[in-house]
Structure 1
């Protein structure tokens, strides 16, 4: 049985006055990044080198959430590679987070009247509970000074309520990774002197307090370099 040769269709050139339609390849989706993205990439590499996971370094996501204003679910998603949010949180949303998570001396939510009266008394300004209520519900935007007063009242850094998700996570996680990198450098310095291992009470100790090893570096190196001089004399020996 003979095969049938099928000629490919001829492409017709567009003539003057004709519109030629072709199927164009779709444009690749743009990669969305924020201030946290480079820290996430560096953290993934560093943790892989140390044989650790994000769970070792950020074991309590509720604590991370309390410090950053980002929900534990969202933190977990970002650590797993979820893209950044396109719309940043508003001042009202982050102020509401503080009002929901911070408690007064009696373990209750801060009363708006007390917030206003405390700030008014300390700063010698006029601030009403109604004004604070409007800020919480996004009806008004605060001045820079008013925002700073509210942030100081809730004991967070000035500018906290204006941070985006990426900025908040970058500040918190970046500090942890910087300390962890210092701990890695400390271990490398010890290994260069022949120390093959460093023991801690648990493997989580150094992950939770990575700066501890770096702080102990001078003492550790002194012990390695001068083992006899570093010993405490006993019984006159």
Structure 2
């Protein structure tokens, strides 16, 4: 167990998933109180129980809430503040894709992806940000994607992930005077449990996008998220940091 995030409180949306789960694990191992958020209560509870046993710690708090639901996000933020008194780190990792070529994409597929990936992040940031302003410090980290530059069959997902870059760059300018760092991580192909089920030929095509010709592991992303959550990155804001591809 380390102490890089000792006495810090972090909310991690999608915190029981592949990348989010790796970030939750590393933050908890470095001493943070980790509020691991996910929409599925059963999955979130099991994740927190298993990780707590693995790390032999009590600083992982499961919290089921839908980031697309503003009332639920508001309640989550208030509950965390009521219990711990501060929120130091927000990691926006909740997201999913629903792929289709434009002429086959339904309005519901567009709305789902934009709401979850972009509006969900907006909701979380908007409710956490006032308290970070009051305490005059904070770290906001959002997971964008290489898809932000355009991918066939992912117009909805690409639009959402590009929107996160705009949100990050704009908020970074607003938040700097309050000592709040706002940055994006942009992974290439990350070998999460879900993506590892792809056909071999599709896996190989994505691996080839990485100059190192290997898949990025969730722990690689977590290591970068840790750096951005510490004072080592105190002069870094408004940045989109690629990992695994560009």
Question: Shorter-chain-normalised TM-score: which range?
Answer: under 0.3
- Structure of higher CA gyration radius: 1
The TM-score, its normalising length taken from structure 1, stands at 0.25
The TM-score, its normalising length taken from structure 2, stands at 0.24
